[in-house]
Structure 1
Amino acid sequence: MTTLERPQPLRSMAEKAARIDQICAQARILPVITIAREQDILPLADALAAGGIRTLEVTLRSEHGLKAIRVLREQRPELCIGAGTVLDPAMFAAVEAAGAQFVVTPGITAEVLEAGVRSDIPLLPGISTPSEIMAGYALGYRRFKLFPAEVVGGVAAIKAYGGPFGDIRFCPTGGVNPANARSYMALPNVMCVGGTWMLDSSWVKSGDWARIEACSAEAMALLG
């Protein structure tokens, strides 16, 4: 076994959808993580994991994102590490090289969708309209992130999408919080939710790992 164990190649879009289902079923909550300081990488991941959150979406919103993915894949192999805020094929290739086990985008372009089709790891593309769902659908995508969920209709929108898009499932992200998370998870076409409420930036900045662990445990208990 090498230091960095690569994800098993997934050739078909059906295989990739099944892998996304597996990841989301295990996660229930995808914490959307932006690393502001390199020294926070391991203690933050450890606090989330101690609270029961072991599938992490590490965004490329900071200069430390790629390194965080590499460090976590190498030093915390028991966790499932994905890459978020991937905006173009170059970023997609970079997170693949860093060892990301799945990729999440805030929106779609034809180039990013095609990169996901070619990749051996699954892509969860971000959408906010029916037309974007259809663009992904045409290439074989059946699993999407709805973003920003609360802004674009939230629970009501996902219910409505269940009619014309009966085989589509979603991970709503953006405005999801303890007050509405259970309403999302109660929908049959929701796989998991994404959020940040369990890792408030002020807690990370002050190194309040115990609070992050406790909030993570509460979040997992909330969604059963």
Structure 2
Amino acid sequence: MKKTLVVSYTPREQSNTKKLVDFFVEHAQNKTEITFLDLTKDTPDLLLEKNLNLYVNRNFGGVALNDEEQKILSKNDKMVVQLLDADRIVVASPMYNMSLPATVKAWVDAVIQAGKTFEQTENGPRGLCDGKQALVLMTSGSDFTIEPLKSMNFATPLLNACLGLMGITTENSTAFGLQQYPDKVESMLAMCKEEIKAVSEKWY
């Protein structure tokens, strides 16, 4: 049975993003072994002075860390293991201010690790997660499918690029404009659910 990692950031009550996550789980739970990472409760460590330098020394410099130093990196390392252990990844998040919420970007920064999920070559970075596939579920209040906001959507392109850096191919299901078009909310969510169902059936 394939393993699926569901990375979810849905802190708002009555979250439309959570409705999409719940639909995916309902449709896929008997077809795959699911691991949940709720970023509202298990937040990645930000890359700050102490842990960033330990990471650079270890992953780029080959420096052996002692137990105490390794412990400092253990939370983000656990998230790397979750990613590497999964065949399929679902990342679910709303869009904040044209980009990813800081907590979701922190997860991206945690799992993009040299020597583990990508390696540097003469031709640039090469992903080490070939064969893994991801589904990005994203919602927004405004419509980022048309200009002038379409060119201001930095969220899905950023997430797709970061997953691609690790060698993970990505599909997207988005519901943009949920506050802008209140009369279309249910139809937009229904369309996303059909897309989720199609991806799930293709995956499993």
TM-score bracket, normalised by the shorter chain, equals 0.3 to 0.5
Please report the TM-score for the alignment, with normalisation by the length of structure 2: 0.35
Please report the TM-score for the alignment, with normalisation by the length of structure 1: 0.33
Higher-Rg member (1/2): 2
More strand by share: 2
